[in-house]
Amino acid sequence: MENSCIFCKIVAGEIPASKVYEDDEILIFSDIHPIAKIHLLCVPKEHFRLLSEVTPKRAALLGRTMQKIGRIAEDLGLKEGYRVVINQGENAGQTVPHLHLHLLGGEPLGWEK
């Protein structure tokens, strides 16, 4: 846990979130400022910021997170498709320094830089 990290605080239950799924290593909750009809944040509970910090253990955790996203998308009925996004660093607009995957869907999605 990183003391100043808002997602670590959500994982620790110190800040409320609208949770969709939780197990011992993954938390999925609604984004507070949704940019699509469905906008979930899929957060491995372990704190690290970047894909460049991924170890084999973390790679396996990210794999399980992706697998869970597939299941959740199915449960939500996102048959028409959805998007998974990982913002990395300043140019990509990463605002929370705890690696997370955005799940966007529920409507057609534009594709812009």
Strand-pair category, 101-105 with 38-44: antiparallel
Query: Which option in ligand AMP, Zn ion, none does residue 98 bind, with CB closer than 5 to 8 A by kind?
Result: Zn ion
Q: Does 7 bind Zn ion (CB under 5 A)?
A: yes
Per 3-state DSSP, what percentage of the chain is helix, strand, and coil (rounded to 5)? 30, 20, 50
Q: Does 22 bind ligand AMP (CB under 6 A)?
A: no
Residues 26-65 that bind ligand AMP (CB under 6 A): 31-33, 41
Does the active-site annotation cover 47?
A: no
**CB–CB of 26/45 below 8 Å?**
yes
**Which residues have CB under 8 Å from 88's CB, separation 6+?**
50, 51, 94
Amino acid at 98: H
Q: Does 6 bind ligand AMP (CB under 6 A)?
A: yes
Q: Does 5 bind Zn ion (CB under 5 A)?
A: yes
Q: Which of 3, 55, 91, 95 binds ligand AMP (CB under 6 A)?
A: 95
Query: Which option in Zn ion, ligand AMP, none does residue 33 bind, with CB closer than 5 to 8 A by kind?
Result: ligand AMP
Catalytic residue annotation: 100
